[in-house]
Amino acid sequence: MAIRSPSVSFLPTLVFLLANALLVAEATNVHYYDFVLRETNITKNCTSWSLLLVNDSLPGPTIQVHKGDLVFVNVHNQGDYGVTLHWHGVKQPRNPWSDGPEYITQCPIPPGTNFTYEVNFTTEEGTLLWHAHSDWTRATVHGAIVILPEEGNTYPFPKPDGEEIIVLGSWYSQGDELNAVLAEDLDEGADVPRSVGYMINGEFGDFVACSQDSTYHMYVDYGKTYHLRIINAAVSAELFFAIADHNLTVVGMDAAYTKPLVSPYIMLSPGSTIDVLFTANQTPGRYYMAARRYSSESTDVTNFDHVVTTAIIQYSGNYSLDSSPIFPNRSLPSYFDYDAADSFIFMLRSLASEGHPSDVPLNITRRMFIVASISEILCPHHDCVIGPTTIGSSLNNQSWENPSTDVLQAYYKNISGVYTADFPDFPPVFYNWTGDDMPEESGVSDKVTKVKMLEYNESVEIVFQGSDILRGAESHPMHMHGYSFYVVGHGLGNFDNVTDPLNYNLVDPVLVNTFAVPRDGWIAIRFVANNPGVWFWHCHIDRHMSWGMETVFIIKDGDTEETSMRGPPSYMPPCEDSYNIARMKYRRLPRQISHT
């Protein structure tokens, strides 16, 4: 198979850039970034690793803009398999072509080629992240996005004295063979990899061997207030975060401001970004900031990494550095503290001020009720290790299967046979979702590529209901591309469509792009379908996404050009080549790798 040489794709990219430069000549600020993906040698856990990184750094480079800016990111893939990048939480109005999820809006960028993403910032303000959106490459390919207020504007809180980006990441012992092991496990129906450690800004911290010398430090002065832009870039782990003896004041989430919320700890789902302020008002010394896994699974599932990742907040001044830093024993919740996780996320409220108003849809024209569940999938071949069915996950008993041509291209060019437009608004059977008495058929799902079509400007309400099928009750942080949504209701147990809507918050619900459906509970979300295009939505725990907990919204065009999806750029990565290249790496791997 031929691998595209860089020169073949360079010329169309240049033409594309020039054309776009003309189009955006009137935009306020345009930024250009080059992201070079290549295998880089780093040492972690007392071992040397070769990992796919962006610009040789973990986490990767930060994109910093003002609200309303435009960014072009030229991604040079010098790795040995196909990748895509996603600008998580950036709405990309009318332009899904630059959104990034593989086989949804594009095919992977083949090795040896480049592709330029246009990242169009509009209403977002605060903190987001970018990450790979192909296989589990995002374990090492991710970074922060900082969106400052428009020039001349200020924060809706006193200007902090300093700020730091805190990227929480996860570590896999498979190193650069993670995607290969994942592919084999999925193929065999075996459990997929679990991370063995967590990191703060690429460092495990003091409690992991060979890591103490590189523990991340943040230096503070007594009496000053600091802004932390905290990002959960872990692949499959929800995380608690706290600073010893210091309260956190949440002021934003997912690049939208919140009412100030004072809490001794926070919980972030994968894909969530939370802006917090803290004041260095304690006795000068050293204090740990720490993140610990929140496991919403059953308490008998204990095969996850229990090590706490730490960084050190170090006050200026004269004091002894001999004693170890103070640990947040009292404030950092423990692994299975479901109540701590739920009570935190359900206290969040949008700012809803004059300068940052809420705009909750009130007249709903489309209602969906979606059961998010772990599922059994009929084994597609004779090789499955656990019997005639494999473990999977689903939405309304539909378990997503990626097509080999991306959905966006198929939609735009009217290519049949890629997807069907019959994703159901309701589950096939109704039962006691959170009880122990499941009807047998409720646990079996089909592998399908079913999307949901929406008319332009529909007002949508979705109730996501968690389920205990296969004793798989667990939190599912649902993430929507192309949109933020209001979380107007939430609860534990089964949703009641008569009484629960009476308690909806239609005044100041939190506005987010990712939000956890709690273990054995439900959330109700609302948004207006005013961004035409093809938009992925999925559980942001990649274990569940790889098992099929996702689908696609296609929002049809409105009547005018401004309400219609844009056309494609002059070059998109080809599907024929990249589909094969993305998988080439797996085929040459020895089978036993998944069992080491």
Q: Which chain residues interact with Cu ion by CB under 5 A? A: 476, 539, 541, 544
In the complex, least distance from residue 464 CB atom to Cu ion, rounded to whole angstroms: 10
Whether the CB-CB separation of 77 and 237 falls below 8 Å is answered with: no
Closest CB to Cu ion among residues 511, 539: 539
Q: Which is nearer to Cu ion, 263 or 296 (CB)?
A: 296
The smaller minimum CB distance to Cu ion, of residues 298 and 580, is found at 298
Minimum CB separation of residue 466 from Cu ion in Å reads 9
Q: Which is nearer to Cu ion, 263 or 390 (CB)?
A: 390
In the complex with Cu ion, which residue's Cβ is closer, 261 or 541? Answer: 541
Phi, psi for 97 (deg, rounded to 5): -60, -25
392, 376 contact by CB (below 8 A): yes
> Which residue, 81 or 336, is less far from Cu ion as judged by CB?
336
- C-alpha 473/C-alpha 579 separation (Å) is 34
Amino acid at 176: D
Size of the chain, expressed as the number of residues it contains: 596
Put the strands of the sheet holding 256-263 in their side by side order: 197-200, 162-171, 225-232, 273-279, 248-253, 256-263
CA–CA distances in Å: residue 385 to residues 186, 335, 596: 10, 30, 16
Q: Which two tokens stand for residue 438?
A: 């499941």
- Compare residues 94 and 540 and give the one whose CB is closer to Cu ion: 540
Least separation in angstroms between CB 423 and Cu ion: 17
Contacts of 192 (CB under 8 A, 6+ apart): 182, 185, 186, 543, 546, 547
Instruction: Using alpha carbons, select from 375, 365, 288 the residue that is nearest to residue 549.
Output: 375
Residue 161 vs residues 63, 246, 268, 454: alpha-carbon distances, Å:
21, 16, 24, 46
Q: Name the nearest CA neighbour of 240 among 264, 212, 216.
A: 264
Range 74-94 burial, b when 16+ CB lie within 10 A, else e: ebbbebebbbbbbbbbbbbbb
Cα dihedral across residues 148, 149, 151, 153: positive or negative: negative
Amino acid identity for residue 142 in this structure: H
Contact present, 454 and 556 (Cβ < 8 Å) = yes
Bridge-based pairing state of the strands 511-512 and 248-253 = unpaired
Closest distance of CB 293 from Cu ion, Å: 15
Nearer to Cu ion, 170 or 225 (CB): 170
Return the number of the residue (245 or 474) whose C-beta is nearest Cu ion: 474
- Please, which residues bridge with residue 275 across strands? 229, 252
Q: Tell me whether residue 255 or residue 372 sits nearer to Cu ion (CB atom).
A: 372
Residue with smaller CB distance to Cu ion, 166 or 372: 372
Sign of CA dihedral 444, 447, 448, 451: positive
Q: What are the φ and ψ backbone dihedral angles of 542, each rounded to 5 degrees?
A: -65, -25
